[in-house]
Structure 1
């Protein structure tokens, strides 16, 4: 308490107990479900890559110095955000590694 008689700091205000709010269904939004994952895999196998993804794959294949950065910058220009670009780069790298593993098995 200060000299004015008002309480300040962490414990100011009327003491109340917080309510337990149940989780809302919207909290699950964006979570990858098994069925959706399977559908996306089937579509990727049937349709293949989009043209800009093929270009990203080509840059990854050729490699060289700064290939990671080049891929990131290209993906960011196409997709618009930092996080989406990083995710796409990892997705295409994983696709390429699976492709190479499949070719090595044959």
Structure 2
């Protein structure tokens, strides 16, 4: 007997036209059980097939953290499966039409506007870099990234902020190289 998601030997066999019993399980019963959700995979019976992982759209040095905003964006793009109207199964429940909700204003928290980025760039031009930033840039130029991260973490408080600052200063160095040559 071939491998199946649920134990076939527990179900009554199908009746043949002659009145005898067939050795195979009843296909109508199997279909009905699958509709009711009893045909779901069991971890002890057969392993689930591996889910394919999609490559990340943004590749950075440090791991991307999932925040409330990213989760909300993912949920807004994802559509709920249509319900079957049956009381059992994966998509059980009444057939309904999903409401399309507008994006919350709070989901935009932390995203810099054009005006803010413009003002910050002008301040950067006028004021220049802080002494610790100049030291970090020198460490990056001498390919001492770990030391640069450690110093930045000490100054800024968290490793996440430090990594972001080191990435920003690496970009500044690359930009100055491009402008110089």
Structures share fold, TM-score greater than 0.5: yes
What do the CA deviations read for 1:68-97 (whole angstroms, capped 9, x no partner)? 111111111111112101100000001111
What do the CA deviations read for 1:45-86 (whole angstroms, capped 9, x no partner)? 1110011101101111222xxx11111111111111121011
Counterpart mapping for 1:19-98 below 5 A: 23-63=103-143, 67-98=144-175
Aligned position for 1:4:
none
Q: Where does structure 2 lack aligned partners over 5 or more consecutive residues?
A: 1-89, 91-97
What do the CA deviations read for 1:6-28 (whole angstroms, capped 9, x no partner)? xxxx9xxxxxxx98765432221
Q: TM-score, normalised by structure 2?
A: 0.44
State the distance in 2 between where 1:39 and 1:20 align: 36
| Greater share of helix | 1
State the distance in 2 between where 1:22 and 1:97 align: 40
- Where relative contact order (Cα < 8 A, 6+ residues apart) is larger, the structure is 1
- Structure 1 position 101 matched with structure 2 position 178: yes
Bigger drift between 31-40 and 20-29 goes to 20-29
Aligned position for 2:83:
none
| Greater share of strand | 2
Q: TM-score, normalised by structure 1?
A: 0.70
Number of equivalences: 99
| Structure of greater Rg | 2
State the distance in 2 between where 1:23 and 1:93 align: 34
